Amino acid sequence: MSRDQNRAFLIVMDSVGIGGAPDAAGFFNDERPDSGANTLAHIAAVRALALPNLDRLGLGAALHLASGAQAAGLGATPQGLWGAASEVSRGKDTPSGHWELAGVPVPFEWHYFPKTRPAFPPELTRQIAELAGTSGILGNCHASGTEILAELGAEHLRTGWPICYTSADSVLQIAAHEEAFGLGRLLDLCEKVAALVHPMRVGRVIARPFLGQEGAFRRTANRHDYAIPAPAETILDRAAGAGRVTHAIGKIGDIFSHRGISHLHKGQSDADLAQHLLRLAEEAEPGSLTFANFVEFDSLYGHRRDIEGYAQALEWFDRIAGALMARLRPGDLAIFTADHGNDPSWSGTDHTRERVPVLGWGYGAQPIGQVAFVDVAASVADHLGLAPVGPGRSFLDLR
């Protein structure tokens, strides 16, 4: 089969790091350096993981390669393409990891809001309130998204003021009640605030709609990220520019500012996204690229430091990976990787700087060693028969 008929599936297991990042000492959680953080190994240290499909590709071997760690339940002889990737971008955040996997290391330093209260400069606070049509904002601090709803949700309903907060990432999040404040109004506000802060190198403005009453607030699935566009051509742009169909599953559309994307596939949960992925394994067009993000490892378990929940999510996803591989065809490539770590055993609540696994189906047993994030994009382009994208080098053996 000509390579222009090959299909590629690039699947990001959000935050499934495997330790060993050479620059981890320069990244922190609650003033503790990320040296020694290891999402997968530390989960497995609490209880053995049953991940037969990912381990058959080489997950346990990739873990040992990245960090020297070994994990109970992960000891299979690799039958797939396997290795570990290191990031060079100076952020351990979602856009940095995804852009670099797509061929574009971040060429600048992100702006981060200080861990003070207030966190935002007065002029920005004034502009947000003016755009919202209110006399002020709530929050104005670093916070957990669920905790700040419990703290300020009732006051938001009383005052109508939007809840604005940030984190260790380069982000400004705005939470508002879908019914009392209005979902459309929130999205419009976030789009306008993004235009204010993107020139400051703030990576994303995130709309965080919620529902419920005091004591029972819950975030909805209508989150929307307004991200800075990648500063150079990504693998999505390259594929779309060559006339290939591209499918974005989950928050990939938001991360890449909906550039280079033919079709969006969203859902209420990772379980919904898994059904899109399995369906596209059957239906995606020859020559197409499917790019998926599974966020709940990170959002539900990593940030909340829930080791058991993370372990269960990994075992659920392993079954999805097995079902996907059973549906793939000759000429397909599937790469399972991650964008950063989020060790649920670590200090604080933020991402951890780690290497990530690179596991591939479609090229037989092939150790690729230590590679760069950008090598993932170069390899996908190589498989699809596209011109090289980014500074990476293909790790595929195309004999």
Residue that finishes a domain, picked among 196, 227, 258: 227
Alpha helix stretches (DSSP H) within 183-233: 183-197
Going by DSSP bridges, is the β-strand pair 7-13/289-294 parallel, antiparallel, or unpaired? Answer: parallel
pLDDT bracket for residue 383 (50, 70, 90): very high
* Arithmetic mean of pLDDT, 32-38: 97
C-alpha separations of 70 from 21, 44, 49, 74 in Å: 16, 9, 12, 7
Determine the pLDDT at residue 168. 86
Domain boundary among 199, 227, 255: 227
| Per-residue model confidence as pLDDT tens digits over 280-325 | 999 999 999 999 999 999 999 999 999 999 999 999 999 999 999 9
Asked if residue 340 belongs to a known ligand binding site, the reply is: yes
C-alpha to C-alpha distances, 265 to 7, 150, 178, 198, 211, nearest whole angstrom? 17, 31, 22, 26, 23
Task: Give me the percent of the chain exceeding a pLDDT of 90.
Answer: 97
Q: For residue range 332-365, what is the model confidence (pLDDT) as tens digits?
A: 999 999 999 999 999 999 999 999 999 999 999 9
136 with 84, same domain: the answer is no
- Distance, CA of 332 to CA of 286 (rounded, Å): 9
The two beta strands, 332-337 and 356-361, are antiparallel
Q: What's the structural domain count of the chain? A: 2
Integer angstrom CA distances of residue 78 from 282, 286, 359, 387: 26, 28, 10, 30
Same domain, 210 and 223: yes
Q: What is the pLDDT of residues 187-213, one digit of tens each?
A: 999 999 999 999 999 999 999 999 999
| Residue that wins the pLDDT comparison between 103 and 397 | 103
User: Average pLDDT of the chain?
Assistant: 96
CATH number at residue 214: 3.30.70.1250
Domain membership of residue 373 (yes or no) is yes
Of 167, 193, 227, which marks where a domain is finished? Answer: 227
- Dist. CA 364–CA 372, nearest whole Å: 21
* pLDDT value of residue 399: 46
Q: Is 23 annotated as a binding residue?
A: no
Domain boundaries, position 285 = 3-108+231-384
One-letter amino acid of 257: S
pLDDT at 79 over 60: yes
Q: Is residue 239's pLDDT more than 70?
A: yes
**Domain membership flag for residue 52:** yes
**In this predicted structure, what is the pLDDT of residue 397?**
81
- Say if 375 falls within a structural domain: yes
Q: What spatial distance separates the first Cα and last Cα of the chain, rounded to whole Å?
A: 13
Q: Are residues 253 and 320 in the same domain?
A: yes
Q: Are residues 332 and 303 in the same domain?
A: yes
* Residue 396 burial (CB count, 10 A): 19
**137 and 271 belong to one structural domain:** no
98 and 236 within one domain: yes
Determine how β-strand 218-219 pairs with β-strand 204-211. antiparallel
* 362 torsion bin: left (phi>0), alpha (psi -120 to 50), beta (else): left
Is 339 labelled a binding residue? Answer: yes
User: How far is Cα 292 from Cα 259, in angstroms, rounded to an integer?
Assistant: 15
Give pLDDT tens digits for 253-273. 999 999 999 999 999 999 999
**Cα–Cα distance, 55 to 359 (Å, whole number):** 9
| pLDDT (mean) for 160-176 | 96
Indicate the DSSP class of residue 370.
E
Give which of 96, 12, 28 is closest to 350, Cα–Cα. Answer: 28
pLDDT at 57 over 80: yes
Q: What pLDDT sits at residue 398?
A: 65
Are 190 and 257 within one domain?
A: no
149 phi, psi to nearest 5 deg: -65, -45
Amino acid at 74: L
361 against 146, higher pLDDT: 361
pLDDT-based confidence at residue 146 (cuts at 50, 70, 90): confident
Residues 241 and 181 grouped into a single domain: no
Number of separate helices (H) and strands (E) present in the chain? 13, 16
Q: Kindly tell me the burial class for residue 122, based on how many C-beta atoms sit within 10 Å of its own C-beta (0-12, 13-18, 19 or more).
A: exposed
Position 16 pLDDT exceeds 60: yes
Residue 1 has pLDDT above 70, yes or no: no
